[in-house]
Chains A and B, each alone.
Chain A
Amino acid sequence: MEWIQQLINGISLGSIYALIALGYTMVYGIIKLINFAHGEVFMIGAFVGFYAIAGWGLGFFPALLLAMAVCAIFGVLIERIAYRRLRNATRIAALITAIGLSLLIQYVVIYFRGAQPEAYPDALSNKTFDLFGVQISSQSILILSVSIVLMILLQFIVHRTKIGKAMRAVSHDMDAARLMGINVNTTISATFAIGSALAGAAGVFFGVYYTKIEPLMGIIPGLKAFVAAVLGGIGIIPGAMVGGLVLGVVETIVSALGYSLWRDAAAFIILILILLFRPSGIFGKNAREKV
């Protein structure tokens, strides 16, 4: 029974990773850039949620929506200001810009509010209920369900709406997409908006779940979500979902076995293994890109 509990905890942690990983994978899919500033979008989401709940007394769901909206705009601005002009530059130039941007955002936040952590307010009353002897926290269940709803919504957008079809077309062949009359810039902006909104949601969930946030909180979850995206196959949306869940469960199992000090290392061991044995990830086709 203990195990089922751990599994549920692992899955809800994993769903947070999955939400962040989706942004990495969508952006990579469309402009082949690892957006290392994505962890900072997650951090901004957590802080917006914090100020909305603690400062303005908003409830959990309004705060969640606000954080998602602010992050969507923030993500669009990041692309517009920093990445768009680099679209034809070398990949390494774009990558270095992303890392620089990530540091910039961290320290701008520290400059304005200091580096001290903040205790996340209790926006969700956490009840523990007993299901056939399994202790389940209502928070885990809520985080998990909202994440699942967001992922279903994302699948709907990507497969059924016009902007989603444009996103798939641009990520497959940018010039061919242009010839269909698709506005590539708008489509890339939409991708950043959606990916960043999901990271914003993850930030609020993280705050509620771990009750502590600080300006450098985006680094480790950002890296882990990146591992999750690679694990599932970078650029593949269902891959990011599965990769995130697997990572969350593995970490929880490692802790439950009494190796909590190894928890963070687990993600990077997975990264090394996947790069050695299956670099294209669980869902990736194990073939070199056709030229």
Chain B
Amino acid sequence: MLKVDQLDVFYGNIHALKGVSLDVQEGEIVTLIGANGAGKSTLLKTLSGLLKPKNGTIQYLSNTIAGKPAQEIVKAGISHVPEGRRVFSNMTVEENLELGAFLRKDSKEIQKDIQKVYTTFPRLLERRKQLSGTLSGGEQQMLAMGRAIMAKPKLLLLDEPSMGLAPLMVKTIFEIIEDINRGGTTILLVEQNAHMALSVANRAYVIETGRVTVSGTAAELQASEEIKNAYLGGH
């Protein structure tokens, strides 16, 4: 459903993505792993329209979306949970969820979907009138994911959902990622926690200094000596 071909992205003179190509099939969880500064967030930001590529194409369903404004990409069904959550900390949990549905007009359905998010994340229900800035890191991650789901995406982009979370919370978040996927949403998951990411993903790409260097099924990457040494702590 998503096909990225020979993407080049620059920050001024810095060449952050160098001819990146990858694809995601409908229904999959695909993970993108790589070290700090490899270009993972840059790729997601380009997919969601926050950055414009210099060269290359992005084919999503039957449209090319490279360089389109972010709101059109959201409307087309791609939601991006950014690195560091970026919840609107001056607003309540519920207001954040409502903003996630900004482009939708079906207010009855929106209310139903808010309740669904609360079923998925019961912690958010308890805190629905609380300012989101007062939530814990894990709760903010839940809110950022809930907010993205409110747009009813077909493709969900997740940027390091496990960042800064305790192991138990990481486990919860990854179970929910699998749940969301079983519900029919395709997922592109950026992670540094390669171990967790490969355990839920169907396929994986490794990105190093702006280039895709390895790709394969999650099982292949888990078995590879090279990947084990570089990303799985040598176990």
Q: When chains A and B are docked, how far (Å) is the Cα of A54 from the Cα of B49?
A: 51
Write out the residue numbers on chain B whose beta carbons fall within 8 Å of the beta carbon of A176: 82, 86-88
- B134 beta carbon closer than 8 Å to chain A: no
Write out the residue numbers on chain B whose beta carbons fall within 8 Å of the beta carbon of A181: 70-71, 74-75, 102-103, 151
State the Cβ distance, A183 to closest chain B Cβ, in Å. 5
State the Cβ distance, A12 to closest chain B Cβ, in Å. 32
Write out the residue numbers on chain A whose beta carbons fall within 8 Å of the beta carbon of B89: 172
Write out the residue numbers on chain A whose beta carbons fall within 8 Å of the beta carbon of B90: 168, 172
Q: When chains A and B are docked, how far (Å) is the Cα of A67 from the Cα of B229?
A: 70
Write out the residue numbers on chain B whose beta carbons fall within 8 Å of the beta carbon of A168: 88, 90-91
With an 8 Å Cβ cutoff, the count of chain A residues facing the other chain is: 16
Q: When chains A and B are docked, how far (Å) is the Cα of A168 from the Cα of B88?
A: 9
- A27 beta carbon closer than 8 Å to chain B: no
Contacting A at CB under 8 A, from B72-119, are: 74-75, 79-80, 82, 86-91, 95, 98-100, 102-103
Contacting A at CB under 8 A, from B41-78, are: 48-50, 69-71, 74-75
- A179 beta carbon closer than 8 Å to chain B: yes
Q: Identify B70's interface contact among A162, A165, A166, A179, CB under 8 A.
A: A179
- B147 beta carbon closer than 8 Å to chain A: yes
State the Cβ distance, B91 to closest chain A Cβ, in Å. 7
Contacting B at CB under 8 A, from A107-126, are: none
- A178 beta carbon closer than 8 Å to chain B: yes
Write out the residue numbers on chain B whose beta carbons fall within 8 Å of the beta carbon of A166: 102
Q: When chains A and B are docked, how far (Å) is the Cα of A173 from the Cα of B85?
A: 11
Q: When chains A and B are docked, how far (Å) is the Cα of A179 from the Cα of B88?
A: 12
- A131 beta carbon closer than 8 Å to chain B: no
Q: When chains A and B are docked, how far (Å) is the Cα of A183 from the Cα of B73?
A: 12
Write out the residue numbers on chain A whose beta carbons fall within 8 Å of the beta carbon of B70: 178-179, 181
- A246 beta carbon closer than 8 Å to chain B: no
Q: Identify B80's interface contact among A172, A179, A182, CB under 8 A.
A: A179
> Are A182 and B71 interface neighbours, CB within 8 A?
yes
Q: Interface majority SS on A: helix, strand, loop or mixed?
A: helix
State the Cβ distance, A281 to closest chain B Cβ, in Å. 16
> Are A180 and B86 interface neighbours, CB within 8 A?
no
State the Cβ distance, A50 to closest chain B Cβ, in Å. 40
Contacting B at CB under 8 A, from A135-169, are: 162, 165-166, 168-169
Write out the residue numbers on chain B whose beta carbons fall within 8 Å of the beta carbon of A180: 74, 99-100, 102-103, 147, 151
Write out the residue numbers on chain A whose beta carbons fall within 8 Å of the beta carbon of B49: 178
- A175 beta carbon closer than 8 Å to chain B: yes
> Are B48 and A179 interface neighbours, CB within 8 A?
yes
Give B49's nearest chain A residue, CB to CB: A178
State the Cβ distance, B177 to closest chain A Cβ, in Å. 18
Give B90's nearest chain A residue, CB to CB: A172
Q: When chains A and B are docked, how far (Å) is the Cα of A44 from the Cα of B157?
A: 48
Q: Mark A172-192, 1 if CB is under 8 A from B, else 0.
A: 110111111111000000000
Write out the residue numbers on chain A whose beta carbons fall within 8 Å of the beta carbon of B87: 176
State the Cβ distance, B137 to closest chain A Cβ, in Å. 15
Q: Identify B50's interface contact among A165, A172, A178, A183, CB under 8 A.
A: A178
Give B70's nearest chain A residue, CB to CB: A178
State the Cβ distance, B104 to closest chain A Cβ, in Å. 9
State the Cβ distance, A54 to closest chain B Cβ, in Å. 45
Give A165's nearest chain B residue, CB to CB: B99
State the Cβ distance, A280 to closest chain B Cβ, in Å. 15
Q: Identify B88's interface contact among A162, A173, A178, A183, CB under 8 A.
A: A173
Give B69's nearest chain A residue, CB to CB: A183
> Are B82 and A175 interface neighbours, CB within 8 A?
yes
> Are B74 and A179 interface neighbours, CB within 8 A?
yes
Q: When chains A and B are docked, how far (Å) is the Cα of A169 from the Cα of B103?
A: 14
> Are B86 and A162 interface neighbours, CB within 8 A?
no
Q: When chains A and B are docked, how far (Å) is the Cα of A79 from the Cα of B195?
A: 49
Give A174's nearest chain B residue, CB to CB: B50
Write out the residue numbers on chain A whose beta carbons fall within 8 Å of the beta carbon of B74: 179-181
> Are B86 and A182 interface neighbours, CB within 8 A?
no
Contacting A at CB under 8 A, from B142-168, are: 147-148, 151
Known: A165-B98, A166-B102, A173-B86. Is A179-B50 also a contact (CB below 8 A)? yes
Write out the residue numbers on chain A whose beta carbons fall within 8 Å of the beta carbon of B100: 180
Q: When chains A and B are docked, how far (Å) is the Cα of A172 from the Cα of B131?
A: 13
> Are A182 and B91 interface neighbours, CB within 8 A?
no
- Additional A-B contacts beyond A169-B88, A175-B50, A178-B71 (6; CB < 8 A): A165-B102, A172-B88, A179-B70, A179-B74, A179-B79, A181-B151
> Top 7 nearest A-B pairs by Cβ distance?
A181-B74, A178-B70, A181-B103, A176-B86, A181-B71, A180-B102, A181-B102
20 contacts between A and B (CB under 8 A): A165-B95, A168-B90, A169-B91, A169-B99, A172-B89, A175-B82, A176-B82, A178-B70, A178-B71, A179-B50, A179-B70, A179-B74, A179-B79, A179-B148, A180-B102, A180-B103, A180-B151, A181-B70, A181-B71, A182-B71
